[in-house]
Chain A
Amino acid sequence: MKRILVGILILLLLSSCASATDYYPEYTGEPVTLTMWAWTSNENYSIEEFEKVYPNIKVIWEDFGVHYDKAQTALAAGSGLPDVLMIEYSFAPQFMDLGAFQPINKWLDEETFVKLYGEASLGLCSMDGEIYGTPQDSGANALFYRKDIFDKYGLKVPTTWDEYAEQARKLKAAAPDLEFAAPPIGYALVWVGMIWGAGGKLFDYHDGNWYIDFTNPIAEEFFEFWGELFDEGILDLQMWWNPDWYSSLNEGKTATVIVGSWFGEWLRYNAPESAGQWRVAVPPFIRKGEEHNGMIGGSGFYVTSHCKNPEAAAIFVNWLNSHPDSLRCLHRYSNLPIMVSTRYEEILDEIAGPDEFFGGQNIVEELWHAHELVNTTFVALPIWSNMDSALSLLLQDYVDGKIQRFADILPVWEKQVIETMEEFGYTNLIVGELP
């Protein structure tokens, strides 16, 4: 009897311990030094905070910019990956599938993950029930627009795609030299992300099968919508991330950009001359009342298969991306507007406020709203780079006049993606439907 009582007591103690240590278990292992590759600016402030709490875990942060080529090489070589790797959500499945990551479910189970990062993030960091990392910043779609151009030509911030097209036509008529928007030639993230925002998707992974359906009604409606604007010459496509594009943003030749929330950080550093002119808004909805959103980019921090101490790495990636002390640093020093963790809400009131670069607008509040509207998720195809270059070529063909109708791109793109999947040995394809 006594033994049973003691047993119950111990059990009670243990269970209360589990809830007391909450999300961040103590690290009892040997002192360890972890390495991490990440391109977020000023990540070191969070690391300093982390090392104060976990003195036995040291983190060495290296920044090689976007390091996918380097990571692919290390992966193929069988050694050389750091313990923790920053990867964009859309590229993560490619790396998961190649065996670049190891599961951390032992230290971060699904229940805790959902509590800390929300259900929708599971699709970004896990596959087949295994969790490989934690999400950092949100790529929630946002409409970045130039207040000066909007004021000058009497434009209204569009809340639906119909209103968006209306404003685009209005600006074209009033100022043919300006672009209302210049969506990217290529950069599949934006196209997939906007379809996601409209409540759709092109592919997914479920129960061991890859689903591909590029010609579903939402995707087609969406491409028809853009096609109309391009075919009529209201909007032009432009190649992004090059000097031409930078100067068009800096000089106010482009009135709006729809892209991920992280673009707030990017604009601040790369278009300094446009300070004070930009504002942000929740992107247009496909129809009134259908209020949801998708993501364009955003990155997670994953524990790699070359990591010798996954426990320490798991503790680190979880703390880094969910602990308020770290989130505060990421916002303050790295200028990331929105973090994915649900605990970001705890510091929201403290950090939200007028932002000078955005003319005093409280962008955190607006973007947080955009982020909260992301309520669906899916797994990206494991051949993102190939899918991306296939789309780039098709869009360039359209610009060069080799493809007449914009919406004709979808079926050709799908065909090429399926061919690549087959070429890479994926036999578990289900085409023409989505789970």
Chain B
Amino acid sequence: MTSVTKKKLMTTLKAYLFLAPFLALFILMVIYPIGLGAKLSLYGQRGARMWYVGFDNYFRIFQDKKFWEAFKIPAFLLFVQVPLMLLLATIVSLMFETRKRSGSVFRFIYYLPYCIPGIVAGIVWSYIFSDSMSPLKPLLQFFGYQGEKLLTRPNVPLILLIIILWEFTGYTAFVIYSSLISIPREYSEAAQLDGAGFWQIAFKIKIPLLKDVLITLFIFNAIGAIQVFNEPWMLGGLVVLPNNYTPAMYIYSSAFSQGRFTYAAAMGMILACVTFVFSLWVLRTAAKQLLGSKS
């Protein structure tokens, strides 16, 4: 009896030993900053002076139109870019599956953009859309488009869409592909025998089985959309974007260029809550749907 509990204890200890490097960094770099941020958000601050204000910062944020307006771009990305990307990625992954041999080359090519840091991609893309260097301009002029600027403020959401699709579609397709190949081949073979075509098998059999991974990917990308920063920040060098273009940009400029760190900390907490509640909601409703479809 005691030896069993001892064994159990040893296993747990071992597990924690292996987890230790991660846990130490996780506590130091994630948990501790969150705690510190939560504490800071309860203070007023000017320069090095700080004083306790309770929930004043939060009350002010709820009345701060600039903060809530900043969610326009994340909402656009959430409802347009993320679904579009999942659709594209699914199609691409189905294509990967049909090319068993040469597939690895395509997978490599599609995966490459993901290896480029967002900031670098932002710089390169801002050149691509810039007025004087854009390689697209001669192309557009060839098709009769006359010299208007590409990178204007109204065009920025569209440009963001292109950049982010370029960055993450390949990676997402890669993830979907990896669970696609784990689907037992008997299913599609059986369907084939019953006379189902390629797209029928894809939409009726494979995609429903991919639901779990698609939901996970949706949540990951939704979090990315809500916290989008790098790409609009880089474009901001070529076209004037308001400092509240996205919530993360507003938080950054409040803290670092205006020196309102505690207010920014409070906004950070709210942004984290928004992200968390949204993810939870998606998981809950999605889980219900999954249960519904199983029964």
Is B a genuine binding partner of A? yes
Name A residues whose Cβ lies closer than 8 Å to a Cβ of B: 68-69, 72-73, 75-78, 97-100, 185-186, 239, 241-244, 247-248, 305, 383, 385-386, 389, 392-393, 395-396, 400, 424-425
Taking A69-B256, A76-B261 as contacts, is the C-beta distance between A396 and B133 under 8 angstroms? Answer: no
Secondary structure of the A contact surface, majority rule: helix
What are 7 contact pairs spanning A and B, CB under 8 A? A77-B48, A98-B259, A99-B49, A239-B240, A244-B132, A244-B133, A396-B239
Taking A185-B240, A241-B237 as contacts, is the C-beta distance between A385 and B48 under 8 angstroms? Answer: no
Name B residues whose Cβ lies closer than 8 Å to a Cβ of A: 45-49, 126-127, 130-133, 152-154, 237-240, 242-243, 253, 255-259, 261
Residue on A with the closest CB to B260?
Answer: A424
Q: A72 near B132 (CB under 8 angstroms)?
A: no
Taking A76-B47, A98-B46, A400-B152 as contacts, is the C-beta distance between A243 and B259 under 8 angstroms? Answer: no
Residue on A with the closest CB to B47?
Answer: A98
Taking A72-B256, A385-B258 as contacts, is the C-beta distance between A78 and B48 under 8 angstroms? Answer: yes
Secondary structure of the B contact surface, majority rule: loop
Q: B259 near A242 (CB under 8 angstroms)?
A: no
Taking A75-B47, A98-B46 as contacts, is the C-beta distance between A385 and B257 under 8 angstroms? Answer: yes
Within 8 Å CB of B257, what residues of A? Answer: 68-69, 72, 385, 389
Cβ-Cβ contact count across A and B, 8 Å cutoff: 76
Q: B153 near A400 (CB under 8 angstroms)?
A: yes
Within 8 Å CB of A393, what residues of B? Answer: 240, 242
Within 8 Å CB of A425, what residues of B? Answer: 46
Rounded to whole Å, the gap between the CB of A257 and the closest CB of chain B is 16
**Closest A-B pairs by Cβ, 5 of them:** A98-B47, A396-B240, A69-B256, A72-B259, A247-B132
Q: A244 near B240 (CB under 8 angstroms)?
A: no
Q: A242 near B153 (CB under 8 angstroms)?
A: no
Contact of A392 among B133, B152, B240 (CB under 8 A): B240
- What's the Cα separation between A99 and B47 when bound, in Å? 6
Rounded to whole Å, the gap between the CB of A378 and the closest CB of chain B is 22
- Knowing that A393-B240, A400-B153, A425-B46 are A-B contacts, what are 15 other residue pairs whose CB atoms are under 8 Å apart, sorted by A's residue number? A68-B257, A72-B259, A75-B47, A78-B48, A98-B47, A239-B237, A239-B239, A241-B237, A242-B126, A242-B238, A244-B130, A305-B48, A385-B258, A389-B242, A395-B240
- What's the Cα separation between A99 and B46 when bound, in Å? 9
Q: B127 near A243 (CB under 8 angstroms)?
A: yes
